[in-house]
Structure 1
């Protein structure tokens, strides 16, 4: 994987969305372009489990107790990361997005066949929090307690995520 195919994003908290002040969100453009439909299996093989296949919610949400990987298996979408003042990204089959705990994300638009595989390091259980004052207050201490993953969801023990999240 070339450094040109890795894009990182940093987001600050706003009054309702904590994001993650320590770790960047990471987009691997085309990481699974040859076999995007294998995303769930690739993640599971690299220790990111408790996986599912579906879409992305159309409202700001985040997981304060787990990091999350999303691999686009089919179609494409425009996603908003980091809340209303964050970044909009276009993702397509083969792209992989790794979101540190607390990073807000939502679907702005998508093709009809858009599907992603999601998973969590070590098969962690995850919560789903929304842009509310109560969730924000509860999330801040939880985010600090989430351990770093021991492997990259795509590239395993030697993957670039481990370098980017030190």
Structure 2
């Protein structure tokens, strides 16, 4: 049974947990002046102000599960060598200069997605004063989610139209 299929007395916000990996290189002179994304190749590249290049793009890691098959968030997810290699290969194809830049570490982050791949951002149905921002590209969209939630919490209308992300779209009748 998936988490999304369970029902309790709380809100119904069906999300699917994912473990995704990232890699960071050593510091190098400016190579990338902006965020680079390659959706078909599962790649994101961005260079931090200190010069490290962050390489990601949705490459899977292994989310550890318990005996029932539920994610065990008390156990650190595992990097997958095939994902590390595939992500590095894609990064080098897009930016060949990266072939000469050593990676210094990789790590796993957990995120969630919904069935329709759109995030859940807004008031939680039937729970006055509760808000949610999760799913979709939360790593990249976190600052935008924060701005929208700050507006909602303070009683203002967010600048971004959140109608497609409304958690009420999953309201059970």
Q: Which structure has more RCO (C-alpha within 8 Å, separation ≥ 6)?
A: 1
Which TM-score applies when normalising by structure 2? 0.25
In our comparison, the structure showing a higher alpha carbon Rg is 2
Structure ranking higher in strand proportion: 1
Higher helix share: 2
